[in-house]
């Protein structure tokens, strides 16, 4: 359904942009006190053991600051609820905590516990399975600009369940990864696809032959879908005339000590179908 | 002094006593424009040296009742020559008048204006604005496209979300709280091209009236305002062709008599040029307006009017969409007696939106349509009291959306959101009562009912709560349905009834000034479901029902009104306070489009707005125009209530997107010579409330902005100056062809007013940046208008 929203809103935004001008400006923005950021992303790529995992901790910073603030003195552990096995994550460097004995199990429930600054943060999630990427191809005729290459990722949606998907495209030609979300509300049981058309106007660097593109397809929970969808919407065009009022991003990492001091970020566990594509 | 007053009072009482004893007769008729036979609404008709008078109704009809005797009857309409007629009131009689436009007198002060104004300050009507199409056409506009919706935004208390966005906001109310009527038909979307232009073709419009408060009881169904737009009847004297060629669109209107002295018609069209603004993509719109009337006899007249407007947008191979309004109205005016006027209307209107996404293979359609039958009566009881009463019923049919595959290999499955049906009724009675010579009162009462009807299957939720607060995560979440109830076709799902009192008082302080006060209660059963800052054409209307309550508005206003300098100036000052209960608000991350269960995305909130409005007008002379200033506040709050938790935005009051602390407009027109006239327009507004990020965090390789309080920041102030000049090459020519050129410059000092400021990470540098979007910089325009 959110795909539909995006398409429809896109139609407004496109109209709007075609008739408007943009310029980068200096604005003074408010500054909130820092919050803990928990990047609890357990990625289990199909065909791997999934034993090596990492969790990243940092603090939020003023919006225009360029220096990241990492958190190095926290304790991090995950408990697998069905057998109460505990995986301790230890700090390596720059706020990255790792383990090499994580045991992934589809549909199992895990609980993350982070203790930082004498406050305990807890989050619980299920390890979500995902269907395989069947094909990746490229086209030019679709999309907004018929001269720009689209990279399409196809997969078969299982019919007897409601599914939510996240796709991540990383390209050797791009600094930042690109994310898309989709659910199967209108296309349950059908072949579905993600389409990435790199229409970055500023540098005209669309996907070029030779670019290596890595595609990760994640099966995600409904709650994480709601979270990441809002996050992507707000980081993409927060404040545009057809965007909704930006809202606080509340993840699932709850502060047990002081509920108002919740953490940013999310604890999620996903199976990933991965594919690499070289642009022709 | 005191004695003289007492004596005066005595004389008055005696006169009125004798008046009762005397036989009374009435004089009734219709007031029209001499040049084209258009009926004039709001023209003043009164008997000289008495306090007996009235104004014409929507169909130009008037009726005056006075004791037997000889009188001088005077007819006035601003911008027209006065008509004086001696009448002997010895029996009921009919007189009709045709007024000449007062073009020849423009250089002189129109002395006769004072009598008109005297009645105006007496009338309890307040918080209303009337604009004639001629006035609207003088205001400089972007790209030379005359725009009714943009022109009313130059009045105090009326704003919108910014350039290039549709809708308008009245006294801190939302865009869906305006009842927009075109020849009585509800117009659901007033904009073309997402708000760059409005759907009203000024060549087809006679006049408009905007009620910001003190809304009379014949109107109902919206919480904030009524915009009553009326199409021209069509010239009943001569065939006329008018038209214009502009940068955006061309217009053509044909009008003329159908059967001599019995009927006339108007047919007007407007069409934009395709490929507007865009290269390989196209955007265009068109409008068709139609109206015809036929006078069966002195007591019966029929009107048929219609409107059709459509927008089309196409973007490469990826998608195209189209949307538009269609409406029609068949009316029957019937005069029962000299004192009882009636109008029966059958009205249809529809708004639909369609979209095709070729790349995804998706087709989307949604619409709302209604059938409306209403019967209104004006009863001119005597010279002190006039009654309006009537009844109406509106049947709504909502199709909130249907998704289907646009081609055989599409991944999209067919799906239809549940149709919704509802019936809204209204019953009203009101009286305008001249209590004393100085005090006039308006009492009105409307009883509205709303029946949400089957057939529909609705979800049931635990404790009837479709939204629940997740204490653990501190967010509002959609509840899981626990069952379903199916309502049969025609059965009532939910019924609402509301009494809506309306009251207005006018107390005349002296010959030229008065104070007025009003109260109105309005109920609104339809809600435009939208969580975006601006109204978009795909926003869906939802009826009240099991989970959405009707909006209830209470508005109080008080004002001071004065005419001065021989009535060439007028000053209107008002303060208002308005509260609205059950204003729908959206939970964080709400998902509204193509959602069959909107109830899981919303909570019921409330709004409050208050303000001070000043309007100084210069009505006559070479220089005319107005200065408008509004100081106001508009806020909303949504508590968690039964759903638990603190509420949206922590349950705190926050600025609505249409809160503007200061709003100043200065509009003027100067008639330089017979050939040249100049217009200008200056606007200053406090910036729109927005939400700026209060920090950032790293997540999944992205820098993500964090936000907290809703609408706690503001865009920079908005201001601009527009000018235009109109050149008539041969103003005194006797030829039928009359042309004029309009040259305009919008945003003269090229201010890049922020339409929005968005915050994101630059994809090339990875650094966060703020990007300002602005719509129109300096924008010259030229258009040519003609009459034949």
- Is the per-residue pLDDT at B441 higher than 90? yes
Which residue would you say has higher pLDDT here, B607 or B764?
Answer: B607
pLDDT, tens digit (0-9, with 9 covering 90-100), for B563-616: 888 878 999 999 999 999 999 999 988 888 778 899 999 999 999 999 999 999
- Residue from the list B318, B690, B771 with its beta carbon closest to the beta carbon of A24: B771
Identify the pLDDT of residue A10: 53
DSSP for B620-644, please give it: SSSEEEEEEEEEEEEEEEEE-GGG-
Read off the pLDDT of each residue in B147-152 and give the average, rounded to a whole number: 90
Read off the pLDDT of each residue in B105-128 and give the average, rounded to a whole number: 55
Radius of gyration of chain A (CA): 20
- Residue from the list B321, B690, B702 with its beta carbon closest to the beta carbon of A11: B321
Q: Which residue of B has its CA nearest to A203?
A: B764
Identify the pLDDT of residue A146: 66
The reply to whether residue A37 touches residue B697, judged by beta carbons under 8 angstroms, is: yes
Most confident of B37-51, B278-292, B651-665: B651-665
The reply to whether residue B701 touches residue A146, judged by beta carbons under 8 angstroms, is: no
Identify the pLDDT of residue A142: 67
Percent of chain B past pLDDT 90, that is, above it, reads 59
- How far is B215 from chain A, CA to nearest CA, in Å? 31
Instruction: Count the Cβ atoms, other than its own, within 10 Å of residue B463.
Output: 9
Q: Which residue of B has its CA nearest to A226?
A: B589
Tokens encoding B710: 């809703």
Range of weakest confidence among B93-102, B283-292, B323-332, B343-352: B93-102
N-terminal to C-terminal alpha carbon distance within chain A: 32
Identify the pLDDT of residue B103: 59
pLDDT, tens digit (0-9, with 9 covering 90-100), for B464-473: 999 999 888 8
pLDDT, tens digit (0-9, with 9 covering 90-100), for A46-103: 999 999 999 999 999 999 999 889 999 999 999 999 999 999 999 999 999 999 999 9
Chain A 243-262, residues with CB within 8 Å of chain B CB atoms:
243-252, 254, 259, 262
Cα–Cα dist B306/B326, whole Å: 8
- Is the per-residue pLDDT at B118 higher than 50? no
Whether cis (ω within 30° of 0) applies to the bond prior to B258 is: no
Tokens encoding B778: 């300096």
Range of weakest confidence among A149-158, A236-245, B500-509: A236-245
Identify the pLDDT of residue B302: 96
DSSP for chain A, please give it: -HHHHHHHHHHHHHHHHHT-EEEEE------PPP-EEEEEEEEEETTS----EEEEEEE-B-TT----EE--S-EEEEEETTTTEEEEEEE-STTEEEES-----TT-EEEEEEEETTEEEEEEEEEE--PPEEEEEEESSSSS-TTS-EEEEEEEPPTTS--EEEEEEEETT-SS-EEEEEESTTTTTSEEEEEEE---TTT-----TT-EEEEEEEEE-HHHHHHHHHHHHHHHHBT-TTSBPP-----S-EESS-TTSPPEEEEEEEEEEEEEEE--
- How far is A75 from chain B, CA to nearest CA, in Å? 19
User: B427 falls in which pLDDT band (50, 70, 90)?
Assistant: very high
Read off the pLDDT of each residue in B474-478 and give the average, rounded to a whole number: 90
- Is the per-residue pLDDT at B505 higher than 70? yes
The reply to whether residue B766 touches residue A175, judged by beta carbons under 8 angstroms, is: yes
Q: Which residues pair with A54 in a beta bridge?
A: A98
Chain A 100-119, residues with CB within 8 Å of chain B CB atoms:
none
Read off the pLDDT of each residue in B503-527 and give the average, rounded to a whole number: 94
Range of weakest confidence among B232-236, B572-576, B659-663: B232-236
- Is the per-residue pLDDT at B661 higher than 50? yes
Identify the pLDDT of residue B55: 87
Average pLDDT value over all residues in chain B: 88
Inter-residue contact A78 to A110 (CB < 8 Å)? yes
Identify the pLDDT of residue B283: 79
Enter the DSSP assignment of B214: S
Identify the pLDDT of residue B482: 95
Chain B 456-515, residues with CB within 8 Å of chain A CB atoms:
472-475, 477
- Residue from the list A200, A227, A241 with its beta carbon closest to the beta carbon of B756: A241
Q: How many residues does chain A have?
A: 280
Confirm or reject contact between B710 and chain A (CB < 8 A). Answer: yes
Residues of A in Cβ contact (< 8 Å) with B472? 254
Read off the pLDDT of each residue in A134-140 and give the average, rounded to a whole number: 89
Identify the pLDDT of residue B420: 94
The reply to whether residue B773 touches residue A16, judged by beta carbons under 8 angstroms, is: yes
Identify the pLDDT of residue B621: 84
The reply to whether residue A239 touches residue B161, judged by beta carbons under 8 angstroms, is: no
Residues of B in Cβ contact (< 8 Å) with A227? 589
- Is the per-residue pLDDT at B110 higher than 50? no
- Is the per-residue pLDDT at B19 higher than 60? no
Identify the pLDDT of residue A207: 64
Nearest to B696 by CA among A274, A34, A228: A34
Read off the pLDDT of each residue in B729-750 and give the average, rounded to a whole number: 89
Residues of B in Cβ contact (< 8 Å) with A41? 700
Cα–Cα dist B768/B237, whole Å: 66
Q: Which residue of B has its CA nearest to A150?
A: B359
The reply to whether residue B315 touches residue A14, judged by beta carbons under 8 angstroms, is: yes
Q: Which residue of B has its CA nearest to A34?
A: B695
Average pLDDT value over all residues in chain A: 86
Inter-residue contact B701 to A232 (CB < 8 Å)? no
The reply to whether residue A144 touches residue B772, judged by beta carbons under 8 angstroms, is: no
Identify the pLDDT of residue B105: 42
What sign does the CA torsion over B236, B238, B239, B245 have?
negative
Instruction: Count the Cβ atoms, other than its own, within 10 Å of residue B91.
Output: 10
Identify the pLDDT of residue B117: 40
- How far is A246 from chain B, CA to nearest CA, in Å? 6
Helices and strands (H and E) in chain B: how many: 4, 54
User: A189 falls in which pLDDT band (50, 70, 90)?
Assistant: confident
- Residue from the list A19, A63, A144 with its beta carbon closest to the beta carbon of B318: A144
Identify the pLDDT of residue B296: 93
- Is the per-residue pLDDT at B331 higher than 90? yes
User: B11 falls in which pLDDT band (50, 70, 90)?
Assistant: very low
Identify the pLDDT of residue B371: 97
Instruction: Count the Cβ atoms, other than its own, within 10 Å of residue B650.
Output: 15
Question: Mutate which of A63, A65, A159 to test chain B, going by most B C-beta atoms within 10 A?
Answer: A63
- Residue from the list B355, B586, B763 with its beta carbon closest to the beta carbon of A200: B763
Radius of gyration of chain B (CA): 27
Please state, in angstroms and as integers, the Cα–Cα distance from residue B667 to each residue in B140, B627, B777, following that order: 9, 6, 20
Chain A 2-61, residues with CB within 8 Å of chain B CB atoms:
2-5, 7-9, 11-12, 14-27, 29-32, 34-35, 37, 39, 41, 56, 58-61
- Is the per-residue pLDDT at B425 higher than 80? yes
Chain A 126-165, residues with CB within 8 Å of chain B CB atoms:
141-146
Question: Mutate which of A238, A254, A255, A266 to test chain B, going by most B C-beta atoms within 10 A?
Answer: A238
Identify the pLDDT of residue B1: 40
C-alpha B559: how far from chain center: 21
Read off the pLDDT of each residue in B12-33 and give the average, rounded to a whole number: 68
pLDDT, tens digit (0-9, with 9 covering 90-100), for B617-652: 998 888 989 999 999 999 999 999 999 999 999 999
User: B53 falls in which pLDDT band (50, 70, 90)?
Assistant: confident
Percent of chain A past pLDDT 90, that is, above it, reads 59
pLDDT, tens digit (0-9, with 9 covering 90-100), for A5-41: 555 555 555 555 555 678 889 999 999 999 999 999 9
pLDDT, tens digit (0-9, with 9 covering 90-100), for B174-213: 999 999 999 999 999 998 887 788 899 989 998 899 999 9
Confirm or reject contact between B730 and chain A (CB < 8 A). Answer: no
Taking the CA of residue B649 as centre, how many other CA atoms within 13 Å lie in the half-sphere pointing to its CB? 19
Which of helix, strand or coil describes residue B404?
Answer: strand
Confirm or reject contact between A195 and chain B (CB < 8 A). Answer: yes
Identify the pLDDT of residue B414: 86
The reply to whether residue B757 touches residue A244, judged by beta carbons under 8 angstroms, is: no
Residue B659 burial class via C-beta count within 10 angstroms: exposed 0-12, middle 13-18, buried 19 and up? buried
Tokens encoding B222: 């919206």
- How far is A118 from chain B, CA to nearest CA, in Å? 19
User: B762 falls in which pLDDT band (50, 70, 90)?
Assistant: confident
Instruction: Count the Cβ atoms, other than its own, within 10 Å of residue A47.
Output: 9
């Amino acid at each position: 359904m959110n795909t539909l929203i995006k398409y429809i809103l896109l139609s407004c935004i496109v109209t709007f942009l075609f008739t408007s001008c943009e310029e980068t400006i200096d604005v003074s923005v408010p500054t909130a006190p820092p919050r803990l950021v928990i990047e609890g992303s357990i990625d289990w790529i199909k065909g791997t053991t999934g034993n090596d995992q990492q969790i990243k901790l940092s603090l939020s910073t003023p919006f225009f600051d360029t220096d990241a603030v990492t958190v190095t003195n926290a304790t991090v552990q995950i408990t697998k609820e069905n057998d109460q096995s505990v995986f301790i994550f230890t700090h390596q460097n720059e706020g990255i905590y790792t383990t090499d004995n994580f045991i992934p199990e589809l549909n199992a429930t895990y609980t993350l516990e982070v203790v930082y600054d004498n406050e305990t943060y807890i989050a619980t999630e299920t390890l979500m399975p995902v269907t395989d990427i069947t094909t990746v191809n490229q086209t030019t005729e679709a999309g907004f600009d018929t001269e720009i290459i689209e990279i399409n990722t196809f997969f078969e949606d299982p019919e007897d369940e409601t599914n939510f998907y996240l796709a991540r495209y990383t390209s050797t030609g791009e600094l930042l990864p690109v994310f898309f979300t989709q659910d199967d509300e209108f296309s349950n049981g059908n072949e579905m696809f993600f389409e990435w058309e790199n229409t970055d106007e500023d540098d005209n660097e669309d996907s070029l032959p030779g670019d290596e593109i890595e595609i990760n397809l994640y099966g995600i929970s409904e709650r994480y879908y709601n979270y990441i969808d809002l996050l992507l919407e707000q980081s993409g065009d927060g404040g545009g005339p057809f965007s909704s009022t930006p809202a606080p991003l509340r993840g699932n990492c709850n502060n047990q000590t002081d509920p108002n001091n919740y953490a940013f970020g999310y604890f999620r566990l996903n199976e990933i179908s991965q594919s690499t594509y070289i642009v022709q | 002094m005191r004695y003289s007053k007492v004596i005066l009072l005595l004389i008055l009482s005696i006169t009125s006593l004798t008046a009762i004893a005397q036989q009374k007769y009435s004089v009734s008729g219709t007031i029209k424009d001499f040049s084209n036979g258009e009926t004039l609404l709001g023209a003043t008709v009164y008997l000289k040296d008495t306090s007996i008078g009235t104004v014409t109704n929507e169909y130009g009809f008037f009726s005056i009742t006075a004791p037997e005797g000889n009188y001088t009857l005077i007819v006035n309409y601003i911008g027209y020559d006065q008509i004086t007629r001696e009448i002997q009131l010895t029996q009921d009689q009919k007189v009709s008048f045709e007024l000449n436009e007062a073009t020849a007198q423009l250089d002189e002060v129109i002395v006769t204006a004072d009598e008109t104004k005297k009645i105006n300050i007496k009338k309890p009507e307040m918080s209303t604005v009337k604009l004639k199409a001629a006035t609207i056409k003088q205001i400089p506009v972007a790209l030379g496209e005359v725009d009714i919706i943009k022109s009313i935004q130059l009045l105090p208390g009326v704003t919108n979300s910014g350039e290039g966005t549709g809708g308008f906001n009245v006294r801190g109310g939302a865009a869906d709280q305006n009842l927009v009527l075109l020849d009585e038909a509800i117009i659901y979307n007033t904009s073309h091209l997402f708000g760059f232009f409005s759907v009203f073709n000024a060549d087809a419009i006679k006049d408009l009236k905007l009620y910001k408060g003190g809304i009379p009881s014949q109107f109902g169904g919206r919480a904030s305002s009524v915009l009553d737009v009326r199409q021209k009847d069509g010239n009943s004297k001569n065939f006329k062709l008018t038209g214009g060629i502009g940068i955006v669109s061309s217009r053509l209107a044909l009008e003329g008599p159908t059967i001599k002295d019995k009927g006339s018609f108007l047919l007007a069209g407007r069409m934009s040029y395709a490929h507007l603004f865009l290269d390989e993509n196209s955007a265009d719109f068109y409008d068709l307006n139609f109206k015809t009337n036929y006078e069966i006899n002195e007591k019966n007249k029929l009107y048929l009017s219609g409107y059709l407007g459509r927008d089309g947008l196409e973007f490469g191979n990826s998608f195209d969409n189209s949307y538009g309004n269609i409406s029609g109205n068949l009316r029957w005016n019937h005069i029962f007696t000299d004192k009882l006027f009636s109008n029966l209307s059958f009205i249809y209107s529809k708004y639909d939106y369609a979209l095709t996404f070729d790349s995804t293979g998706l087709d989307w359609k949604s619409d709302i349509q209604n059938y409306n039958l209403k019967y209104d009566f004006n009863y001119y009881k005597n010279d002190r009291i006039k009654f309006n009463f009537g009844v109406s019923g509106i049947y709504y049919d909502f199709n909130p959306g249907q998704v289907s595959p646009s081609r055989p290999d599409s991944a999209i499955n067919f799906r239809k959101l549940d149709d919704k049906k509802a019936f809204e009724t209204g019953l009203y009675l009101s009286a305008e009562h001249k209590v004393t010579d100085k005090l006039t009162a308006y009492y009105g009462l409307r009883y509205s009912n709303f029946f949400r009807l089957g057939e529909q299957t609705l979800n049931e939720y635990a404790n009837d709560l479709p939204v629940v607060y997740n204490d653990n995560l501190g967010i509002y979440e959609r509840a899981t349905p626990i069952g379903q109830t199916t309502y049969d076709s025609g059965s009532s799902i939910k019924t609402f009834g509301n009494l809506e009192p309306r009251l207005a008082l006018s107390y005349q302080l002296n010959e030229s000034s008065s104070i007025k006060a009003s109260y109105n209660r309005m109920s609104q059963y339809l809600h435009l479901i939208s969580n975006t800052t601006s109204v978009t054409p795909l926003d869906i209307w939802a009826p009240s029902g099991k989970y959405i309550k009707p909006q209830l508005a209470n508005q109080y206003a008080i004002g001071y009104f004065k005419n001065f300098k021989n009535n060439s100036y007028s000053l209107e000052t008002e303060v208002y306070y308005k509260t609205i209960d059950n204003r729908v608000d959206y939970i964080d991350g709400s998902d509204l489009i193509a959602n069959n269960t909107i109830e899981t995305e919303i909570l019921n909130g409330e709004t409050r707005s208050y303000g001070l409005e000043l309007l100084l007008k210069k009505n006559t002379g070479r220089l005319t125009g107005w200065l408008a200033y509004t100081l106001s506040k508009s806020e909303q709050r949504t508590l968690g209530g039964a759903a638990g938790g603190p509420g949206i935005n922590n349950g705190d009051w926050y600025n609505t997107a249409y809160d503007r602390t200061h709003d100043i407009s200065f509009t003027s027109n100067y008639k330089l010579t017979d050939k040249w006239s100049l217009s200008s327009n200056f606007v200053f507004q406090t910036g729109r409330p927005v939400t700026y990020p209060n920090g950032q965090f790293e997540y999944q390789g992205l820098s993500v902005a964090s936000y907290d309080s809703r609408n706690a920041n503001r865009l920079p102030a908005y201001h601009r100056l527009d000018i235009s000049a109109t050149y008539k090459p041969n103003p005194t020519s006797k030829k039928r062809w009359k042309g004029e050129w309009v040259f305009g410059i919008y945003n003269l000092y090229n201010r890049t007013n922020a339409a929005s400021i968005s915050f994101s990470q630059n994809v090339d540098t990875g650094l966060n940046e703020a990007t300002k979007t602005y719509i129109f910089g300096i924008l010259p325009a030229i258009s040519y208008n003609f009459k034949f």
